[in-house]
Amino acid sequence: MMRVIAAVLGLTFGAVATASAQRADRAVDQPIVRSLNWFSYVAAEDIRSACRPGGRSRLRLIYNALWEEQVRAYEIFLQPDGTAGLTVGVLADQAPATIVSSITIGEIGDITHPWRMRRGQRLLTVPETADLMGLLQASNAFGPPRDGLRLPDNDFWWTVASCRDGVWGFQAYHYPTDRFANVAFAEKLFSFDNVPVAINRPRRLEPAELRRDPNLNPGRERGDRWMLVVGKDGLRSR
């Protein structure tokens, strides 16, 4: 069965990669392409490279609620009239144990369905947009971030990448480093989230290093662990 899956994924990889490359907001929708693009997506390299006076003002917020459990991505497109378009993407249950042990394939295109982003959209009114932007400002969400902050895949954290009126900004918050004490925008953003997947709230855990140590957790070692490191104005290059 796994050979069949590998063969199908191999056949579809080229088409998926090409299609996704043409849509920056869909670059992590397909699970195969996600592994290649996730760092640049969180770093918002596409937003940063296009950030110039007269360009589009937009934000990308990532809520990493343990990579193997849930990730929520929020794309906010600020409009000249004071409203904003909001796109929500949710990844859930990405642990290796969920890999297609019980999937019945109806069509080739269905094989990656369980790992695709679940999406929602809505338009924020002028007051809603103003409230959210005010909370982001109060959270120092437009930077600068703490240089050297580490963001393990198996912790809770937020990143905020922004381009406002041609000015680039980046911020990151790590739980339990500050227990999200400075995150004032989360509940407002969650109230706009219309994807029917329950929010994975931050909770007390053992340190990430202990949870990824195979000597302390025999049988739970993972080959897909990763960590992001924050620089002075964005993520450091890997």
pLDDT recorded at residue 98: 43
Q: Which of 172, 182, 180 is nearest to 199 (CA)?
A: 180
DSSP 9: H
* Residue 137 identity: Q
* Residue 228 identity: L
Q: Which of 141, 156, 144 is nearest to 59 (CA)?
A: 141
Please state, in angstroms and rounded to a whole number, the distance separating the CA atoms of residues 75 and 27. 13
pTM, full prediction? 0.79
Q: Where are the domains of the chain?
A: 44-94+116-201+224-229
Burial of 233 (0-12, 13-18, 19+ CB in 10 A): middle
Average pLDDT for runs of 10 along the chain of length 238? 38 37 52 68 96 96 96 97 97 61 42 66 98 98 97 96 97 94 97 97 86 59 79 93
